[in-house]
Amino acid sequence: MVESVTTIDKAGRVVIPKEIRDRMNLREDSTLLVTETDGGVLILKKLDIHEIAERLRGELKGKEVDEIAIKVERESNEEARKELRRRGLSQVRR
């Protein structure tokens, strides 16, 4: 586990140390879930839509839900793009 001290800039951005970004394969378009705990701890969790969709396909195999998993993946990606555009973040990739 790596620990590092970082700051928040005026725009509310936090820099994740390069060592952690490299190890976790975080890029500028990576999606993170931010959770605040009761103890004042912030948790950042990398969300991988493709991994979630694959896991769903495996768990629901044979239940004719592959189409649903594909649709959920597409809709999740579109919602993430909309949120990034709403926040005015640079160049949303498709």
Instruction: Provide the 10 A C-beta neighbour count for residue 58.
Output: 9
pLDDT in tens, 6-59: 999 999 999 999 999 999 899 988 888 889 888 888 888 888 888 888 888 788
CA distances from 87 to 21, 46, 48, 70 (A): 22, 19, 21, 26
CATH label of the domain that carries residue 15: 2.10.260.10
pLDDT in tens, 72-86: 888 888 888 887 777
Domains: count for the chain:
2
Task: Identify the domain containing residue 2 by its residue range.
Answer: 1-46
Q: Tell me if the pTM is above 0.75.
A: no
Q: Are residues 39 and 69 in the same domain?
A: no
CA angle 15, 90, 18 (to 5 degrees): 25
Q: Which of 9, 36, 4, 37 is nearest to 21 (CA)?
A: 4
